[in-house]
Amino acid sequence: MISYQFLDAINYAFELHCNQFRKDTDVPYIAHLLSVASIVLEDGGDEELAIAALLHDAVEDQGGLKTLEEIKIRYGERVAEIVIGCTDTLTTPKPAWRDRKETYLRHLKTASPDVVLVSLADKIHNARSILMDLQQHGSVTWKRFNGGRDGTLWYYKELVDIFLLRASPVLANELSRLYGEIKLFQ
């Protein structure tokens, strides 16, 4: 069941991210958050998982621990734990890209199934977006990523390996398929 709490979370996510766009695009960030929540729901996730999906970037991008506390008050401990589990850093300035990603990959190997599902849904939507951008704009797309082509491909390969062991086979295979298509682009 989806209740008005989910609608409240959509509104809250919109408030937090209303002035944010996907990296170097005109796509409103809320589109990503709604897509991640949709993937979670389509995989059978419950309302709390879908709310966490809507808010998975809120702590990292929009207010840190203060935002985490607000999420805990509004949506409960489980949602807050999933959101913090999907956050790759609370440090400002952020640590080096590769260090952050290596730390996050180690974390995913032992993260809760809830965190794994929301993280996988996030990575699937990101991979879909990368593939679409590569198809539309070609190799210039790689310039918008801190890891460039090689770093991004390394990261997604590591993610695929972890998710194939820890997550829903349907979703993990979807990410693996997307990774296979993405790596064909120079």
Residues noted as catalytic: 60-61
For the purposes of burial, counting CB atoms within 10 Å of the CB of 184, is it exposed (0-12), middle (13-18) or buried (19 or more)?
exposed
Q: Please state, as a whole number, how many other Cβ atoms lie within 10 Å of the Cβ of residue 83.
A: 26
CA 54 to chain centre: 9
Structure tokens at 181: 């298509």
Tokens of 80: 């807050």
| In the block, residue with structure tokens 């607000």 | 70
| Upstream peptide bond of 93 is cis (omega within 30 degrees of 0) | yes
Looking up tokens 């993990």, which residue turns up? 172
Q: Give the whole-angstrom CA distance, residue 41 versus residue 64.
A: 26
What is the rounded CA–CA span in Å between residue 106 and residue 115? 13
What does the radius of gyration of the chain's CA atoms come to, in whole angstroms? 16
